[in-house]
Amino acid sequence: MVKLALAGMIAIAGANGPVRAADGGASGERVATYHIVGPIYRVHAAHLQEWMGRQRGVTRIDIEIDSPGGMMDAGLAMGATIVKSSVPVRCVVRGTAASAAFFVLQHCRERIATKGAQLMTHEPRQATSGTMTRQELAAAAAELTLMARVWNSILAVRMGLPLAEYESHVDKGQDWRMTPAEALKVGALDRIE
Protein backbone atom coordinates (compact mmCIF):
# COMPACT_ATOMS: atom_id res chain seq x y z
CA MET A 1 0.00 0.00 0.00
CA VAL A 2 1.27 3.46 -0.85
CA LYS A 3 1.37 5.84 2.11
CA LEU A 4 1.85 9.56 1.86
CA ALA A 5 5.09 10.66 3.45
CA LEU A 6 5.20 13.80 5.58
CA ALA A 7 8.44 14.67 3.82
CA GLY A 8 10.47 13.02 1.12
CA MET A 9 9.35 10.03 -0.90
CA ILE A 10 8.48 6.40 -0.39
CA ALA A 11 9.25 4.13 -3.34
CA ILE A 12 7.26 0.93 -3.72
CA ALA A 13 7.47 -1.47 -6.65
CA GLY A 14 4.32 -1.39 -8.71
CA ALA A 15 3.15 -3.75 -11.44
CA ASN A 16 4.44 -1.37 -14.08
CA GLY A 17 7.30 0.39 -12.34
CA PRO A 18 7.78 2.17 -9.05
CA VAL A 19 4.90 3.97 -7.42
CA ARG A 20 5.73 6.97 -5.23
CA ALA A 21 3.86 9.29 -2.95
CA ALA A 22 5.20 12.62 -1.79
CA ASP A 23 4.29 15.58 0.34
CA GLY A 24 4.10 18.81 -1.61
CA GLY A 25 6.10 20.70 1.00
CA ALA A 26 5.40 24.41 1.37
CA SER A 27 2.69 24.33 -1.30
CA GLY A 28 0.65 21.94 0.82
CA GLU A 29 0.00 19.86 -2.27
CA ARG A 30 -0.07 16.11 -1.67
CA VAL A 31 0.87 14.27 -4.85
CA ALA A 32 0.83 10.56 -5.58
CA THR A 33 2.92 9.44 -8.57
CA TYR A 34 2.38 6.38 -10.74
CA HIS A 35 4.83 5.27 -13.42
CA ILE A 36 3.89 3.66 -16.73
CA VAL A 37 7.12 2.14 -18.00
CA GLY A 38 7.27 -0.33 -20.88
CA PRO A 39 4.40 -1.96 -22.77
CA ILE A 40 0.83 -1.50 -21.56
CA TYR A 41 -1.17 -4.69 -20.94
CA ARG A 42 -4.54 -5.42 -19.31
CA VAL A 43 -2.86 -6.17 -15.98
CA HIS A 44 -1.51 -2.61 -15.93
CA ALA A 45 -4.95 -1.14 -16.55
CA ALA A 46 -6.34 -3.15 -13.64
CA HIS A 47 -3.39 -2.15 -11.44
CA LEU A 48 -3.82 1.57 -12.22
CA GLN A 49 -7.52 1.39 -11.41
CA GLU A 50 -6.88 -0.43 -8.13
CA TRP A 51 -3.99 1.90 -7.20
CA MET A 52 -5.95 5.08 -7.94
CA GLY A 53 -8.83 3.75 -5.86
CA ARG A 54 -6.50 3.49 -2.86
CA GLN A 55 -5.27 7.08 -2.99
CA ARG A 56 -6.64 9.01 -0.02
CA GLY A 57 -5.84 12.57 0.95
CA VAL A 58 -3.99 13.44 -2.25
CA THR A 59 -4.63 16.68 -4.07
CA ARG A 60 -3.17 15.50 -7.38
CA ILE A 61 -2.08 12.32 -9.12
CA ASP A 62 0.90 12.42 -11.45
CA ILE A 63 1.39 9.71 -14.03
CA GLU A 64 4.87 9.58 -15.52
CA ILE A 65 4.97 7.88 -18.92
CA ASP A 66 7.75 6.15 -20.82
CA SER A 67 6.00 3.55 -22.94
CA PRO A 68 5.89 2.33 -26.53
CA GLY A 69 2.17 1.63 -26.08
CA GLY A 70 0.38 -1.66 -25.85
CA MET A 71 -3.06 -3.19 -25.97
CA MET A 72 -5.93 -1.07 -27.24
CA ASP A 73 -8.38 -2.26 -24.59
CA ALA A 74 -5.84 -1.58 -21.83
CA GLY A 75 -5.39 1.99 -23.11
CA LEU A 76 -9.17 2.48 -23.19
CA ALA A 77 -9.49 1.18 -19.61
CA MET A 78 -6.65 3.37 -18.33
CA GLY A 79 -8.16 6.42 -20.02
CA ALA A 80 -11.54 5.72 -18.42
CA THR A 81 -9.91 5.33 -14.99
CA ILE A 82 -8.14 8.69 -15.35
CA VAL A 83 -11.28 10.51 -16.48
CA LYS A 84 -13.24 9.13 -13.49
CA SER A 85 -10.66 10.35 -10.95
CA SER A 86 -12.03 12.71 -8.31
CA VAL A 87 -8.64 14.49 -8.12
CA PRO A 88 -6.78 16.10 -11.02
CA VAL A 89 -4.48 13.76 -12.95
CA ARG A 90 -1.40 15.21 -14.61
CA CYS A 91 0.63 13.15 -17.08
CA VAL A 92 4.29 13.80 -17.77
CA VAL A 93 6.06 12.10 -20.68
CA ARG A 94 9.65 11.42 -19.69
CA GLY A 95 10.72 9.41 -22.70
CA THR A 96 8.13 8.00 -25.07
CA ALA A 97 4.34 8.10 -25.23
CA ALA A 98 3.37 6.09 -28.27
CA SER A 99 0.21 4.31 -29.37
CA ALA A 100 -1.83 3.31 -26.28
CA ALA A 101 0.47 5.42 -24.05
CA PHE A 102 -0.34 8.47 -26.21
CA PHE A 103 -4.03 7.61 -25.80
CA VAL A 104 -3.60 7.47 -22.00
CA LEU A 105 -1.78 10.83 -22.06
CA GLN A 106 -4.72 12.47 -23.80
CA HIS A 107 -7.04 11.61 -20.89
CA CYS A 108 -5.06 13.59 -18.32
CA ARG A 109 -6.23 16.99 -17.16
CA GLU A 110 -2.74 18.39 -17.76
CA ARG A 111 -0.47 16.91 -20.45
CA ILE A 112 3.24 17.67 -20.15
CA ALA A 113 6.38 16.39 -21.89
CA THR A 114 10.05 16.92 -21.30
CA LYS A 115 12.03 18.54 -24.12
CA GLY A 116 13.51 15.26 -25.36
CA ALA A 117 10.27 13.27 -25.26
CA GLN A 118 8.88 11.41 -28.28
CA LEU A 119 5.18 11.17 -29.04
CA MET A 120 3.42 9.00 -31.59
CA THR A 121 -0.15 8.11 -32.39
CA HIS A 122 -1.79 5.94 -35.01
CA GLU A 123 -5.02 4.08 -35.57
CA PRO A 124 -5.49 1.11 -33.27
CA ARG A 125 -4.09 -2.17 -34.50
CA GLN A 126 -5.09 -5.68 -33.60
CA ALA A 127 -2.81 -8.71 -33.67
CA THR A 128 -4.33 -12.00 -34.67
CA SER A 129 -3.14 -15.54 -34.25
CA GLY A 130 -4.44 -18.92 -35.18
CA THR A 131 -6.92 -19.53 -37.95
CA MET A 132 -10.09 -17.62 -38.73
CA THR A 133 -12.94 -18.25 -41.07
CA ARG A 134 -13.80 -15.60 -43.61
CA GLN A 135 -16.81 -14.62 -41.48
CA GLU A 136 -14.69 -14.35 -38.31
CA LEU A 137 -12.14 -12.23 -40.12
CA ALA A 138 -14.87 -9.94 -41.49
CA ALA A 139 -16.37 -9.56 -38.00
CA ALA A 140 -12.94 -8.75 -36.52
CA ALA A 141 -12.33 -6.16 -39.26
CA ALA A 142 -15.72 -4.54 -38.62
CA GLU A 143 -15.02 -4.37 -34.88
CA LEU A 144 -11.58 -2.86 -35.45
CA THR A 145 -13.05 -0.27 -37.84
CA LEU A 146 -15.59 0.74 -35.20
CA MET A 147 -12.92 0.88 -32.47
CA ALA A 148 -10.67 3.00 -34.71
CA ARG A 149 -13.51 5.47 -35.24
CA VAL A 150 -14.12 5.73 -31.47
CA TRP A 151 -10.36 5.93 -30.70
CA ASN A 152 -9.76 8.58 -33.37
CA SER A 153 -12.80 10.60 -32.26
CA ILE A 154 -11.65 10.66 -28.63
CA LEU A 155 -8.15 11.79 -29.61
CA ALA A 156 -9.41 14.42 -32.07
CA VAL A 157 -11.74 15.95 -29.47
CA ARG A 158 -9.06 16.03 -26.77
CA MET A 159 -6.55 17.60 -29.16
CA GLY A 160 -9.13 20.13 -30.40
CA LEU A 161 -8.85 18.94 -34.00
CA PRO A 162 -11.58 18.15 -36.50
CA LEU A 163 -11.83 14.36 -36.85
CA ALA A 164 -10.94 14.54 -40.56
CA GLU A 165 -7.74 16.44 -39.78
CA TYR A 166 -6.68 13.94 -37.10
CA GLU A 167 -7.47 11.00 -39.38
CA SER A 168 -5.48 12.54 -42.24
CA HIS A 169 -2.35 12.05 -40.11
CA VAL A 170 -3.04 8.40 -39.25
CA ASP A 171 -4.91 7.17 -42.32
CA LYS A 172 -3.72 4.01 -44.08
CA GLY A 173 -1.69 2.83 -41.09
CA GLN A 174 0.54 5.89 -40.84
CA ASP A 175 2.35 6.65 -37.59
CA TRP A 176 2.04 10.32 -36.62
CA ARG A 177 5.28 11.16 -34.83
CA MET A 178 5.66 14.45 -33.00
CA THR A 179 8.31 16.33 -31.11
CA PRO A 180 7.03 18.03 -27.97
CA ALA A 181 6.96 21.37 -29.81
CA GLU A 182 4.90 19.85 -32.64
CA ALA A 183 2.58 18.14 -30.12
CA LEU A 184 2.06 21.44 -28.31
CA LYS A 185 1.19 23.15 -31.60
CA VAL A 186 -1.48 20.55 -32.54
CA GLY A 187 -3.04 20.37 -29.07
CA ALA A 188 -1.57 17.05 -27.92
CA LEU A 189 0.27 18.72 -25.00
CA ASP A 190 -0.47 21.58 -22.64
CA ARG A 191 3.16 22.44 -21.92
CA ILE A 192 6.79 21.38 -22.19
CA GLU A 193 9.09 21.30 -19.18
How is 6-26 classified by DSSP, letter by letter? SSSEEEEEEBTEEEEEEE-GG
Q: Is 153 a catalytic residue?
A: no
Question: Active-site residue among 35, 47, 99, 107?
Answer: 99
Per-residue pLDDT band for 10 (boundaries 50, 70, 90) equals very low
Determine contact, residues 90/104, Cβ cutoff 8 Å: no
Mind listing the pLDDT tens digit for each residue in 105-149? 999 999 999 999 999 999 988 777 778 888 988 888 898 888 889
Mind listing the pLDDT tens digit for each residue in 32-88? 999 999 999 999 999 999 999 999 999 999 999 999 999 999 999 999 999 999 999
Domain residue extents for the chain: 9-192
Question: Active-site residue among 44, 122, 168, 169?
Answer: 122
Query: CATH number of the domain at 9-192, please?
Result: 3.90.226.10
Determine contact, residues 31/62, Cβ cutoff 8 Å: yes
Mind listing the pLDDT tens digit for each residue in 165-182? 999 999 888 999 999 999
Q: Is 169 a catalytic residue?
A: no
- Burial of residue 123 (number of CB atoms within 10 Å: 0-12, 13-18, 19+): buried
pTM: 0.84
- Is pLDDT above 80 for 11? no
82 vs 13, residue with greater confidence: 82
